[in-house]
Structure 1
């Protein structure tokens, strides 16, 4: 578990990052802050910045799309004997550029509302079920992931499935394996690989 905050006014912060390196590449960096300790019921905020690139094909010639995004969501987390549930809402923004045979075109920036939820459940002392969903109106997008793991060598190992869709018509799904709570010193990691 995470160390508890020592005073009522203290803000407990967790830094995170993710890299999806496949045909579509996307990097996200962010922070989760809680008023009080992150390992108890209370208000939390997530701030994230991301950017990526993907190749697109369709009725027109092939092109590349570059995307930058930012979000700041605030919510509440509930702790139970079996795990934690969290729900968030807040603003998001997306800016894109498209590179095709005619050159580089900057698209209009879009602002919208992001809704986000997650569940981290431990049905038994040796298993983990994790589910996340993010829906945003700035890009008319939905992303979801479901993972199950069995504790082995102080890490939860198991299968996961993820899906993404947005208003451009782009669709993506992944099936793979993950390792969650993989620790190196005082840092904890989550890694996954798949198709």
Structure 2
């Protein structure tokens, strides 16, 4: 048998086998290749807050004993860098400085769903470093400080068209408290629009932010939260603007 005849015989044989087995036996259906929303176990997230103070963060959250839509154990990893304008006492007088900070944490948590209420709590170790600048001069980075981090998150839908969120983060490494509360009404699709208030304090710094937010904007597989408004800082009477964006992706 010639080479051409053998090639034709192979093609015919494979075609017959494909027809006999059926298309589903050779190639998986496209929809079987993709995760369903109820099977998601992993979230990647990142955020940026800009104003007189700046904070950039990124991390991940993973369901360890189930999926993200069911009660269970969670793992949370987070890294962030920040910059604040402060006034501290040096040699007996108050001077203006900039404080750069770096934080890394890994926590375990538990989430539960009670009807329209989602509640999660985390706790774990955190590493913290900081550096001061004054009149263009940099101080040495501090030695890494090990502390504890605790975080509580609340999402609630009192009705299908309303949303209430709350987050509180406590850190012993830099003795800080960060908290945000927001409310909203459905503006379109799954996006909610409403007011927010954010509070942040350390032993040397305090700020409060009042503004508005849009939460739930979908951009492909990425979900966005946008906010903007005005902020006050400890030691400054004037208001300054701020804006922030956060994004997350479920996998």
TM-score (norm 2): 0.72
The answer as to 2:183 corresponding to 1:148 is yes
More helix by share: 2
**Structure 1 residues 104 and 81, CA gap change in structure 2 (3 angstroms):** same
User: 3-state SS of the aligned residue for 1:60?
Assistant: strand
Q: Secondary structure of 1:4's match?
A: helix
Greater Cα offset, 61-70 or 38-47: 61-70
1:166 corresponds, among 177, 192, 202, to: 202
Deviation at 1:4, TM superposition (A): 2.4
Q: Find the aligned partners of 1:26 and 1:187 in 2 and give their Cα distance.
A: 21
Say if 1:3 and 1:37, in contact at 8 Å, map to a contact too.
Answer: no
Classify 1:158/1:60 alpha carbon distance in 2 versus 1 (closer, same or farther; 3 Å): same
Q: Contact 1:61 / 1:101 at 8 angstroms: preserved in 2?
A: no
Query: Which deviates more from structure 2 when the two are superposed, residues 94-103 or residues 41-50?
Result: 94-103
Equivalent pairs counted in the alignment come to 188
The residue that corresponds to 1:57 in the other structure is 87
> If the length of structure 1 is used for normalisation, what is the TM-score?
0.92
Shift of 1:102: 8.1
Residue ranges of structure 1 left out of the alignment (5+ in a row): 6-10
Q: Which stretches in structure 2 are left out of the alignment for 5+ residues? A: 1-35, 231-251
Instruction: Name the SS for the 2:37 alignment partner.
Output: coil
Higher RCO (C-alpha under 8 Å, 6+ residues apart): 2
How far apart are 1:56 and its partner, in Å? 1.8
Structure number with greater Rg is: 2
Compare the two structures and name the one with the higher strand fraction. Answer: 1
1:126 aligns with 2:161: yes
Correspondence 1:8-23 to 2 at 5 A: 12-23=41-52
- 1:33 is aligned, of 62, 68, 86, to 62
Please report the RMSD computed on the Cα atoms of aligned residues, expressed in angstroms: 1.5
Q: Equivalents in 2 of 1:14, 1:96: separation in Å?
A: 28
Q: How does 1:81-100 map to 2 (within 5 A)?
A: 81-100=115-134
